């Protein structure tokens, strides 16, 4: 990876709009990768893919306070802007949009919000009421500011990806959502900004999550019960893993599939290890 010039870091909505307008005037297409910061290889997979599908790459780094339902979670989220910009320089990213909270919410949380609907209060949304509404609202704002031709979202946050794709379709937003496959450690653990909080023993135990998903994928052809039983077997006996849910959902509704379902699905898992909550998922075929 060769070091390249640093991206231009833009802090205001006005300058961001002007920068995008200049790219468009020069005939260049624009890709946006929205992030909360604390970038890692998983995010870099987004900007590498973005380089293949658009001319100009914008990465937004905005630690959106409205989507954190636990103040402690927001408090401990790593703030690493300089290191993030260094990483993006190494990838040749053109523009970084790093607004302040006041710039994004000049009069406080917006009076107008986007609703994620019923899916927004299941799985991740059950534990964090309002989280997905806040995510969709800030994503709608970012899409309105950057107006990208394409926006990248990770398969890692399957429920977020689902509600974002639905919002873009439902609201006729003129962008294409590009799904970026999950990047994993060699032992299968999905990369996440939260992994840094795991102790050594929790890190070892965290492997169980992807092992459960792999077990479900392998057993999927024998039906839903077999897939769920295989996952349960992989998760059993790991005391450090406090399982929140393991479910197999329909890709078109994000609702658990029926017992006799056959077809494409997504196995999703969430668990807490110590004070760290991890989520993961894997697309699979049932039957």
The one catalytic residue in 40, 43, 131, 250 is 43
Q: Is 46 a catalytic residue?
A: no
Neighbours of 16 (CB within 10 A): 23
Q: Is 218 assigned to a binding site?
A: no
Q: Is 183 assigned to a binding site?
A: yes
Indicate whether 93 belongs to the interface with ligand PAF (CB under 6 A): no
Indicate whether 135 belongs to the interface with ligand PAF (CB under 6 A): yes
Residue 114 or 215: which CB sits closer to ligand PAF?
A: 114
- How far apart are the C-alpha atoms of 212 and 81, rounded to whole Å? 34
- How far apart are the C-alpha atoms of 252 and 256, rounded to whole Å? 11
- How far apart are the C-alpha atoms of 175 and 148, rounded to whole Å? 6
Indicate whether 182 belongs to the interface with ligand PAF (CB under 6 A): no
Taking only Cα atoms into account, the Rg of the chain, rounded to an integer number of angstroms, comes to 19
Indicate whether 64 belongs to the interface with ligand PAF (CB under 6 A): yes
What are phi and psi for residue 230, nearest 5 degrees?
-65, -40
In this chain, which of 23, 30, 31, 34 binds ligand PAF, going by CB under 6 A?
A: 34
- How far apart are the C-alpha atoms of 20 and 100, rounded to whole Å? 19
Dihedral in degrees, nearest 10, Cα atoms 81, 84, 89, 92: -120
Q: How far is the CB of 67 from ligand PAF (least distance, A)?
A: 6
Indicate whether 159 belongs to the interface with ligand PAF (CB under 6 A): no
Cα angle at 54 between 114 and 184, to 5 degrees?
Answer: 75
Q: What share of the chain is helix, strand, coil (3-state, %, to 5)?
A: 45, 20, 35
Indicate whether 67 belongs to the interface with ligand PAF (CB under 6 A): yes
Segment interacting with ligand PAF, rule: CB under 6 A, options 51-59, 77-85, 133-141, 227-235: 133-141
Beta bridge partners of 32: 58, 151
What are phi and psi for residue 8, nearest 5 degrees?
-75, 125
Q: How far is the CB of 75 from ligand PAF (least distance, A)?
A: 16
Cα angle at 87 between 53 and 23, to 5 degrees?
Answer: 40
Indicate whether 138 belongs to the interface with ligand PAF (CB under 6 A): yes
Residue 152 or 210: which CB sits closer to ligand PAF?
A: 152
Residue 139 or 248: which CB sits closer to ligand PAF?
A: 139
Q: Is 67 assigned to a binding site?
A: yes
In this chain, which of 149, 157, 238, 280 binds ligand PAF, going by CB under 6 A?
A: 157
Q: How far is the CB of 77 from ligand PAF (least distance, A)?
A: 10
Q: How far is the CB of 236 from ligand PAF (least distance, A)?
A: 31
- Per-residue three-class SS string for 48-80: HHHHHHCCEEEEEECCCHHHCCCHHHHHHCCCC
Residue 97 or 246: which CB sits closer to ligand PAF?
A: 97
Indicate whether 35 belongs to the interface with ligand PAF (CB under 6 A): yes
Segment interacting with ligand PAF, rule: CB under 6 A, options 31-39, 175-183, 225-233, 257-265: 31-39
Strand order in the sheet with 242-249: 242-249, 263-273, 276-286
Active site residues: 43
Binding residues (CB under 6 A) for ligand PAF: these are 34-36, 64, 67, 135, 138-139, 157, 160
């Amino acid at each position: 990876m060769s070091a390249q010039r640093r991206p231009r870091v833009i802090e205001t909505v006005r300058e961001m709009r002007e920068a995008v307008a200049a790219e468009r005037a020069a005939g260049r297409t624009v890709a946006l990768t929205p992030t909360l910061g604390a970038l890692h290889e998983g995010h870099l997979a987004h900007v590498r893919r973005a380089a293949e599908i658009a001319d100009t790459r914008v990465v937004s780094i905005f630690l959106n306070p409205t989507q954190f339902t636990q103040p402690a979670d927001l408090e401990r989220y790593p703030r690493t802007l300089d290191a993030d910009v260094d990483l993006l320089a190494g990838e040749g990213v053109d523009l970084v949009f790093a607004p302040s909270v006041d710039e994004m919410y000049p009069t406080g949380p917006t009076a107008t919000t986007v609703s994620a609907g019923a899916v927004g209060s299941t799985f991740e949304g059950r534990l964090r009421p309002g989280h997905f509404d806040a995510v969709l609202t800030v994503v709608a704002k970012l899409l309105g500011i950057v107006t990208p031709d394409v926006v990248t979202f990770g398969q890692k946050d399957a429920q977020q990806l689902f509600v974002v794709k639905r919002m873009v379709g439902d609201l006729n937003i003129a962008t294409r959502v590009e799904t970026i496959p999950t990047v994993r450690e060699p032992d299968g653990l999905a990369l996440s900004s939260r992994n840094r909080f795991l102790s050594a023993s929790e890190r070892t135990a965290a492997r169980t999550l992807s092992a459960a998903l792999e077990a479900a994928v392998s057993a999927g052809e024998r039906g839903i019960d077999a897939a769920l039983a295989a996952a349960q077997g992989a998760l059993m006996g790991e005391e450090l893993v406090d399982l929140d849910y393991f479910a197999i959902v329909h890709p078109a509704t994000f609702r658990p599939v029926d017992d006799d379902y056959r077809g494409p699905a997504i196995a999703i898992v969430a668990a807490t290890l110590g004070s760290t909550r991890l989520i993961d998922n894997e697309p699979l075929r049932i039957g």
